[in-house]
Structures are given as structure tokens and as C-alpha cells.
């Protein structure tokens, strides 16, 4: 669905407060999400045994798998499956003049106010009233606060050794434009993609991993001929929306919002945010900006090295315009986690009802693709269960992490796998010793089918291809 049609659909059929109820989606308690994330090994508070460090998080055994799958899906979609993209991995530390030329030293700041009563600090543009949200006290006049982390290179901490932790990955792409162009021999339009860490000394953090000071970005700088930029801007918004919805994200919880003039960054001609309806309201998960030729011209001037493109069709040098789709890995992680969280009432074997918690991840994202569950730890059953586990683990059809789980009852293990989002469970039971077959259980429907072990790999491939 195109951008205009998509937003028209939302405006015509849904008000913001009705989107969740009308779509059948559940309102999710953020505390439940953060509790599950820690209990099941998705996310831990950084340095927790020392009391933790505010707004820093560690990804646990399941979190690191989900994060890797998310980045792999993005890279596969936007780099491998296109013929107009290449990749880059630029360093975090760069020459300080990069940030002077890009405008970050002058413009990369937020308006900061202090409470005269409790001394809390706030971003002025995040306040609904001109009073302290904590105590209602009077606020100081706003002053600009640069968001970049300063550090020093070498043993001396003086002006000559100042460096900055990058607040975005884009500048590493721009300063390598000529290197990539010469080595890849790409023709316009083409893009350079990068996934990497960035750092912003945010004044206000919170909402779990939504706003942090250390984060990861999936970013593209797509170079086009001037005059073609607006059409490419629309196409990239549509392509980015499709990536989220193709991975199962609810379209009813997504919207595209255009920046107003005062919101636009110093380099932007136009910017649209893809936003998701979180428990606290709408929040940006991706920006798609038209950066025009600002960056290449700025670095040409700052470095004295011309960054342009020779157009063989017109026989002239041009400075390309740039469309920049940029998504936060951590915010995307949180978005898919919140969207997947589901509570269902199901009947037990004793005709009672209980609440089943399920993370309905798309199979491409699920941290564990398949769990192999022997019915018991019986010594006769164990060897066959291990054989099945080894075969599934090595199967190219699964192409992901496989878990062997033999602790507690089979019912408890199903619930545990549901709660961490495992799409398929393979149960090896005592009948397997005679019929050489196993049972595959589907996470979402809870339906079970019996398949010969010889056909297991093909059946798992079908089940994971959603």
C-alpha cells in the first residue's frame, strides 16, 4: 500500500485511541514486557550487580539471537535482495573536523531546562507545561546542550586530542563516498548500508530500551540524481513500511508522520517518521529523510576534497541528493517484542481455563526456531531424542538456533517455549521408538501433526515459511 493510501486508510477508519481495540490487538503493560525480558533472558540491566547504570542494557542469550535475526533480516532485505546497494562498516571514532563540517558541533543539541526546586533536568521540547513534571517547580531559561559524547585520543586531555563518539553512522558513509564509488563502480541511483553503534548523551531517557544513550542504527544513504529525490523518498518510505509489516507487525499500530518545518534537522528538505503505537503512545521507530546534497557539499568544503559523481549521460559532474532511511535496532527490537506479546485464555486437559502468554514472533525473527522435547528423560528415549536434536540443529531448513529442552513436564515446556516465541516444537515420545516418527506442535494454533523422522526437515521448513 502506498504512503498516501496507507495514511488515508488510517485517517478514514481509525482514530488513534481506537486503533488497538478495533484491530483486536491488546494493550500491553510495559512492566510485563520488561519483566518477561529479564526472566527469559532477552534483556538485562547493565552492571546490575553494582546497582546498574541508567539507560544501559545488556542483551541476554535470547535477546542476542532476536537482535541478530532482526539485523540479518534488514540486511537481507535491503542489501542482498537488491542490486543497487552495497555495505560499509565505518569506525566509531572519526577525525573531529568531520563533525564540524557536518554541522553537528553547531546544531546537534537539545534545549535543556533545570528545575529551580528539585534540580531535575528536562528537555524543553518534551514538556507539555512550563513547569517541572516532577515537583511543579519553576524552570530555568532553556540552554542548548550538545548531545555528543566527548573523549580524548592519546595520553593528553587537551584541545588537540579531542574526539567524539559518533551520534549517527551516516557521516562514515559520506566521507567514504568516493572510496565506495571507485571500488564498487556503482551507477546512480545506488545506496550504501551500514549497521553500527552510535552514542547520544540524551537528557531524558526511559521507556525501557526505547531511548538510550548507547544504541545501534540500521542506516542507508541512497544517492540519487537531483530532481529524482522526491520520488525516491516516497519509494523508500513504502519499502520500509513493507519490511515491518512483512515481519508481522500490526499495520493498525503503524503510522507515517511528516515533520513540520521547525522539526526538520539542519540538513533535511523533508523527513517522515514511521511511528508505532507503544503502551505510552506513538513513538518513532524509523526516520526517512531527504538530506539533499548537504552532506557531500559540506564535506567537500570542509576537507578540500571534491565529492561528486560523473554522469556519463550528461557528461557533467553532479553532487547527488541523498535519501536516508535510518532505523534503530534497539527500538525495532522493542517494537517487535511489544507487538508479539499476546495473552490468551486456553483450556487445559482438565477442562479448566488458564492464561497462555505467547510471543508471536515471525519465524524469521524468533530467537529459537525449533525446540526438541523428549517426552521424558527415560534412558531408552534419550538417545533417539539426541539424534533428532542433532539432525534438526544441523538442518539447513531450520537455519537458526535450535534448543533441546527436557526439564519439567511436557506441558510446562510447551508454555515456556510459547513465552519465548519458539514457532515449532518437536516432541519425541515412546511411540517414536517403534514408528520412527515425531510430533510437531505449532506455537500459534497449538495444533500437532505426526511426521516420519525422515520427513522432519522438510516439514519444519514448511512450518517456518510463513
Task: Give the three-state DSSP class for 313.
Answer: coil
Tell me whether residue 254 is in a domain: yes
Q: What is the grid cell recorded at 84?
A: 543497487
The average confidence (pLDDT) of the chain is 89
Decide if 114 is inside a domain.
Answer: no
With residues binned 3-state (H G I as helix, E B as strand, rest as coil), the percentages for the chain, rounded to 5, are 35, 30, 35
Asked if 226 and 324 sit in the same domain, the reply is yes
Does residue 418 fall inside a structural domain?
A: yes
Query: Does 66 share its domain with 13?
Result: yes
pLDDT-derived band of residue 262, with 50, 70 and 90 as boundaries?
Answer: confident
Q: Residue 15: what pLDDT? A: 38
Give domain status of residue 359, yes or no.
no
- The C-alpha atoms of residue 105 and residue 167 are separated, in whole angstroms, by 11
Which SS3 state, helix, strand or coil, does residue 458 take? Answer: helix
Residue 349 banded pLDDT, cuts 50, 70, 90: low
Residue 424 has pLDDT above 90, yes or no: yes
pLDDT of residue 123: 72
Q: What does the angle CA 47 – CA 50 – CA 52 come to, to the nearest 5 degrees?
A: 50
* pLDDT score of 350 more than 80: no
Is the pLDDT reported for residue 203 higher than 80?
no
Q: What is the CATH number of the domain that holds 402?
A: 3.40.50.800
What is the C-alpha to C-alpha distance for residues 270 and 268, in angstroms, rounded to an integer? 5
Residues 320 and 375 in one domain: no
Select the highest-mean-pLDDT range: 105-114, 150-159, 377-386, 419-428.
419-428
Residue 284 lies in a domain: yes
Per-residue pLDDT of 119-143, as tens digits, reads: 887 877 778 788 898 888 889 888 7
Are 315 and 212 in a shared domain?
yes
- Within a domain: residue 101? yes
Residue 25 has pLDDT above 60, yes or no: no
Last residue of one domain, picked from the residues 322, 337, 352: 337
pLDDT at residue number 108: 67
What pLDDT sits at residue 55?
A: 85
Query: Does the pLDDT value for residue 60 go beyond 80?
Result: yes
Answer yes or no: is pLDDT of 19 > 80: no
44 plus 159 within the same structural domain:
yes
pLDDT at 463 over 50: yes
* 164 shares a domain with 26: yes
Place of cell 559532474: 317
Cross-strand pairs, 452 = 437
Same structural domain for residues 16 and 56?
yes
pLDDT in tens, 69-116: 999 999 999 999 999 999 999 999 999 999 999 988 877 666 778 888
Do 311 and 409 fall within a single domain? no
Percentage with pLDDT > 90 across the chain: 67
Q: Give the gyration radius of the chain's Cα atoms.
A: 25
Q: Is residue 136 part of a domain?
A: no
Average pLDDT, integer, range 172-183: 96
Domain count, the chain: 2
Print the domain residue range for 419.
Answer: 368-464
Q: pLDDT at position 160, please? A: 83
Residue 189: cis peptide before it, omega within 30 degrees of 0 = yes
Is there a domain that residue 206 lies in? yes
252 and 392 both lie in a single domain = no
Mean pLDDT of 396-400: 88
Please state which of the ranges 145-159, 269-283, 375-389 shows the lowest mean pLDDT.
Answer: 145-159
pLDDT at 83: 95
Q: Are strands 321-328 and 341-347 parallel, antiparallel or unpaired?
A: unpaired
pLDDT of 233 > 50? The answer is yes
- Based on the domain organization, do 332 and 372 belong to the same domain? no
SS3 sequence of 95-125: CHHHHHHHCHHHHCEEEEEEECCCCCEEEHH
Domain identity same for 267 and 415: no
Q: CATH number, domain at 298?
A: 3.30.930.10
Provide φ and ψ at 49, rounded to 5°: -70, -15
pLDDT at 8: 43
Reply yes or no on whether the pLDDT at 377 is more than 90: no
Looking at the fold, whether 309 and 377 belong to one and the same domain comes out as no
Amino acid at each position: 500500500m502506498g504512503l498516501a493510501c496507507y495514511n488515508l486508510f488510517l485517517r478514514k477508519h481509525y482514530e488513534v485511541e481506537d486503533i488497538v481495540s478495533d484491530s483486536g490487538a491488546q494493550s500491553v503493560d510495559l512492566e510485563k514486557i520488561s519483566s518477561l525480558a529479564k526472566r527469559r533472558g532477552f534483556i538485562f540491566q547493565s552492571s546490575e550487580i553494582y546497582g546498574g547504570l541508567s539507560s544501559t542494557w545488556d542483551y541476554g542469550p535470547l535477546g542476542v539471537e532476536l537482535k541478530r535475526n532482526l539485523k540479518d533480516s534488514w540486511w537481507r532485505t535491503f542489501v542482498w535482495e537488491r542490486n543497487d546497494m552495497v555495505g560499509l562498516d565505518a569506525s566509531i571514532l572519526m577525525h573531529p573536523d568531520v563533525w564540524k563540517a557536518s554541522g553537528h558541533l553547531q546544531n546537534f543539541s537539545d534545549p535543556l531546562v533545570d528545575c529551580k526546586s528539585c534540580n531535575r533536568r528536562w528537555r524543553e521540547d518534551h514538556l507539555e507545561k512550563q513547569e517541572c513534571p516532577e515537583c511543579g517547580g519553576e524552570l530555568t531559561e532553556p540552554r542548548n546542550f550538545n548531545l555528543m559524547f566527548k573523549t580524548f585520543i592519546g595520553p593528553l586531555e587537551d584541545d588537540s586530542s579531542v574526539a567524539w563518539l559518533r551520534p549517527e553512522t551516516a557521516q562514515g558513509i559520506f566521507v567514504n563516498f568516493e572510496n565506495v564509488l571507485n571500488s564498487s563502480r556503482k551507477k546512480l541511483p545506488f545506496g550504501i548500508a551500514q549497521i553500527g553503534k552510535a552514542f547520544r548523551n540524551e537528557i531524558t531517557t526511559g521507556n525501557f530500551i526505547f531511548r538510550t544513550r548507547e544504541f545501534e542504527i540500521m542506516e542507508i544513504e541512497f544517492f540519487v540524481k537531483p530532481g529524482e529525490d522526491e520520488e525516491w523518498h516516497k519509494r523508500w518510505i513504502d519499502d520500509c513500511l513493507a519490511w515491518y509489516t512483512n515481519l508481522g507487525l500490526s499495520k493498525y499500530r503503524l503510522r507515517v508522520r511528516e515533520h513540520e518545518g521547525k522539526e526538520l534537522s539542519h540538513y533535511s528538505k523533508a523527513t517522515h517518521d514511521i511511528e508505532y503505537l507503544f503502551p505510552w503512545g506513538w513513538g518513532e521507530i524509523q526516520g526517512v529523510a531527504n538530506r539533499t546534497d548537504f552532506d557531500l557539499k559540506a564535506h567537500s568544503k570542509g576537507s578540500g576534497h571534491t565529492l561528486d559523481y560523473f554522469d556519463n549521460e550528461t557528461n557533467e559532474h553532479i553532487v547527488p541528493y541523498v535519501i536516508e532511511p535510518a532505523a534503530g535496532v534497539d527500538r525495532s527490537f522493542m517494537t517487535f517484542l511489544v507487538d508479539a506479546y499476546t495473552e490468551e485464555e486456553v483450556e487445559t486437559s482438565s477442562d479448566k481455563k488458564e492464561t497462555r502468554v505467547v510471543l508471536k514472533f515471525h519465524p524469521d525473527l524468533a530467537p529459537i526456531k525449533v525446540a526438541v522435547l523428549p517426552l521424558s528423560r527415560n534412558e531408552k528415549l534419550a538417545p533417539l531424542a539426541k539424534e533428532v536434536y542433532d539432525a534438526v540443529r544441523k538442518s539447513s531448513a531450520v537455519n537458526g538456533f535450535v534448543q533441546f529442552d527436557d526439564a519439567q513436564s511436557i506441558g510446562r515446556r510447551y508454555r515456556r517455549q510459547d513465552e519465548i516465541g519458539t514457532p515449532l516444537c518437536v516432541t519425541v515420545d515412546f511411540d517414536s521408538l517403534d514408528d520412527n516418527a515425531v510430533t510437531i506442535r505449532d506455537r500459534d494454533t497449538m495444533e500437532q501433526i505426526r511426521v516420519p523422522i525422515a520427513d522432519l526437515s522438510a516439514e519444519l521448513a514448511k512450518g517456518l515459511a510463513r
